[in-house]
Structure 1
Amino acid sequence: MEKIKLLFRIGYAYHKAGFDPVIESLLNNDRYDVWFSLDSEKKRRFMIDFPFRAPIIDRWKEMGYRFTEETRGFDIVITGDTLRNAPDYGKTMLLFLNHGTGIKNLLYRNLNRVPNDKYLIFVEGKHRVESLMHSPSLRKNEVYLIGLPKLDFAFQGRFNDTASLLKRWRLDPNKKTVLFAPTYKPTCMYSVKDDIFEQTRDYNLIVKLHPYSWMGKYAPHRQHRIYERRVKKYSHAVLLPFEEYNIVPYYVAADTVISEASSTVFDFLAFKKFGIVYDLPCDRLKHSDGEALLEIDNREFLKGAFTHIESGKQLGKAIEKSLNPTQEMIAAAEAYREKYFYRLDGYATERLVTKMEELYREGGHENIP
């Protein structure tokens, strides 16, 4: 039987973590001929962009990943972002699996930029289905509800050895763990740069910055330098290096998360644990064209379930509250999970592959330039 030729259009190397369960499934499926491609990454120094190649790519090649710069000849292309050059891929099924879910509106904006392209958008919950179906950016794109494959390995128990993970970073497995995972824009990292260390002394603190915070192109280098300088003074804290791409094992290890508009707050809800949202002046946060940065005002997001703060000085009490949720918080979180997630059972990848194959056999779902 002729194999289905499939391309994972990963984009940036850090996007791959969102695809890992799907990649494993298809590499182990002899019906598929699997290939990979990456964008050319750059780091900015002194206002000049320099090519950057992540060392982990060599490890992927050693594992048997085959990379190509070809765009034509694929039956299916799986991407975590809209493509700048979709016509170059010819007639093919374009499957969109968002590399980072959350409350930013980039998905809708990016779809608006490519009104002539057709994507099969696989989403994590009812809210995303409804938002897309009511969005003018949907056009001829199709939406399918399958859950969030990114979290499958966690729900399958593959990251349950949290003690070993914490010991790897010289943290204490007997302490509760706080995960601080700010996004690069809009961000709270400047506001809490001291309090995040001072008010977590009784816990393990893991700081996971967005990859853009390290690259100097979309965010200044001072974002990572601020934390590189401070973390040296605190034995209870670790700043994960740029190369530590996959945050999912840290969701499992953490007892609470602190962020503002990052997808980490969204994802963390799935684990029946409670987080802290740093409120932002969302009414003033705009793109250059005047459109709001966020789909949902983060001051209202998960309100009643996650604790909201307006200052780093409130972190101590907020952490204590998130570790000891009330019955009201538990009930609110359950309602939010029902709204934002579909079947958190570790089988989202299986549902994705089943639906993808059904659409492929049916035909008529291709993007035709």
Structure 2
Amino acid sequence: MISVLFETHHLYYLPNFLPIIDEMKSRGIYSLSISIPKTINDTERFYLKKISEAKNLEFLDGSSEDSRQRKLRKRKFDVVIVGVPGMLEKIVSDNSLAIMVYHGIGLKHSYYKDTSHRINIRAIESEMRYKELKSQGETNLLLTGYTKIDPLFQDHTKLNQKNLEDLNLNSQKKTILYAPTFYPSSIEKLIPYCTEFAKKYNLIIKLHGFSWNQKRYKHHIIIAEKISGKGIYLVPKEDYNIIPYYSISDALISDISSTLFEYLALNRPIFQTTFFTPRLKHRIFKSRLRKRLDLDRSEKINFTYVLDNPHQILLEVKKVLNDNDTLFPHREQALKNFLYQTDGKASSRLVDAIEDKNK
């Protein structure tokens, strides 16, 4: 059996790994384990352990972070898969095949900075990004597509399909998914307009994992819980996977989140907010915030309906959903640019490459 460790630095990385886990299980030659750093909060660790039990994965832990790392290193896994370099160099053995499936594909510059000489294969979601990283001298690249969205193109039993009625939403109304990032986020400015919006449309709010688990974003939960109900469904924190909510929504609203690009796979309308509430230091030193963002990638976005003011939400969404979706062809082209082969087989391509390396 080929021993595999999934090192998930946060719970919200897990949807990238689940299709890979399912693919490996289907081949019957892998023993699968999962772990999360002790430095991560107890809530995420608790839910990951529950998920590992449900998925029949070995959950590995330690009495301290040092002991956890020693335990993982001692196991000498054949394959170690991460979503960010993080603790990678401290847990791999000399002979481990180290894989990175990066946890996000949005507008943050960290995509290019988060790397390690120890990574043997980095799975890449698009030809555009493949060429960019190759031009920077990266040699460990594998063009696979984005594993996270594989379930959208597979048997719906793998998708854990949601039902609007189960969410106390009206199946006769169109459904909008609102998925803000944690920072810089549109949520503080948009939430006051959501109650009125929900009189016309179902609204599903999917907060970022950091909004649930980091104290500095606790106010996101407070303002979202305050308006939930009566046409507004707030996805609970234990429901970490956004993918099933893509399939039941008619459009997406987001800001700089990876969801802007993931949702292209369905070629449904995407609304992008440009308003947010910056921290004080970013109000004073605006260039610091700009350095966090991938401005070149942002300038390539021509497939979203831009919302410059929160009061536009109802009018703009209504206009587009009433048969005035002019950006349909732009999304078709963007899909080719930003996502490689949306055929549900990104995970299969990655596992094939792992097996080639292990021959």
Match of 1:33 in 2: 31
Deviations 1:112-159 (A, max 9, x none): xx4x43341101111211221233xx55x5111111121111111416
Change over 3 Å in CA distance of 1:205–1:77 after alignment to 2 = same
Match of 2:63 in 1: none
Match of 1:105 in 2: 109
* Bigger shift: residues 155-164 or 269-278: 155-164
Match of 2:58 in 1: 66
Q: What aligned pairs does 1:309-324 form with structure 2 within 5 A after superposition? A: 309-324=307-322
* Bigger shift: residues 327-336 or 237-246: 327-336
Which one of 68, 79, 84 corresponds to residue 82 of structure 2?
A: 79
What amino acid does structure 1 have at the position aligned with 2:26? Answer: N
The answer to whether structure 1 residue 230 and structure 2 residue 227 are counterparts is: yes
8 Å CA contact 1:182–1:210 kept in 2: the answer is: yes
Deviations 1:273-295 (A, max 9, x none): 11100015899798996761221
Please report the RMSD computed on the Cα atoms of aligned residues, expressed in angstroms: 2.9
Deviations 1:87-116 (A, max 9, x none): 4412221111122222211222222xx4x4
CA distance in 1 between counterparts of 2:208 and 2:277 reads 20
8 Å CA contact 1:279–1:309 kept in 2: the answer is: yes
**Once the 2 structures are TM-superposed, how far is the Cα of residue 221 of structure 1 from its aligned partner?**
1.0
Match of 1:343 in 2: 341
Match of 1:207 in 2: 205
The answer to whether structure 1 residue 307 and structure 2 residue 302 are counterparts is: no
8 Å CA contact 2:82–2:88 kept in 1: the answer is: no
CA distance in 2 between counterparts of 1:60 and 1:160 reads 16
Which one of 19, 22, 34 corresponds to residue 21 of structure 1?
A: 19
The secondary structure found in structure 1 opposite 2:356 is: helix
CA distance in 1 between counterparts of 2:125 and 2:179 reads 21
Match of 1:292 in 2: 291
Q: Which runs of 5+ in 2 are unaligned?
A: 61-67
Which one of 162, 169, 172 corresponds to residue 171 of structure 1?
A: 169
The secondary structure found in structure 2 opposite 1:187 is: coil
CA distance in 2 between counterparts of 1:202 and 1:30 reads 48
What is the count of residue pairs matched by the alignment? 343
Match of 2:131 in 1: 130
The secondary structure found in structure 1 opposite 2:185 is: coil
CA distance in 1 between counterparts of 2:289 and 2:12 reads 29
The answer to whether structure 1 residue 275 and structure 2 residue 278 are counterparts is: no
The secondary structure found in structure 1 opposite 2:81 is: strand
Which one of 252, 256, 265 corresponds to residue 251 of structure 2?
A: 256
The secondary structure found in structure 1 opposite 2:295 is: coil
CA distance in 2 between counterparts of 1:293 and 1:282 reads 15
Match of 1:118 in 2: 119
The secondary structure found in structure 2 opposite 1:95 is: strand
The secondary structure found in structure 1 opposite 2:85 is: coil
Change over 3 Å in CA distance of 1:52–1:333 after alignment to 2 = closer
**Once the 2 structures are TM-superposed, how far is the Cα of residue 250 of structure 1 from its aligned partner?**
0.4
**Once the 2 structures are TM-superposed, how far is the Cα of residue 41 of structure 1 from its aligned partner?**
5.5
Change over 3 Å in CA distance of 1:308–1:51 after alignment to 2 = closer
TM-score, scaled relative to structure 1: 0.84
8 Å CA contact 1:199–1:315 kept in 2: the answer is: yes
Match of 1:47 in 2: none
Match of 1:187 in 2: 185
CA distance in 2 between counterparts of 1:349 and 1:31 reads 15
Deviations 1:222-251 (A, max 9, x none): 1111111122xx501111111110100001
Change over 3 Å in CA distance of 1:207–1:328 after alignment to 2 = closer
Richer in helix (by share): 2
What amino acid does structure 1 have at the position aligned with 2:57? Answer: Y
CA distance in 1 between counterparts of 2:16 and 2:91 reads 24
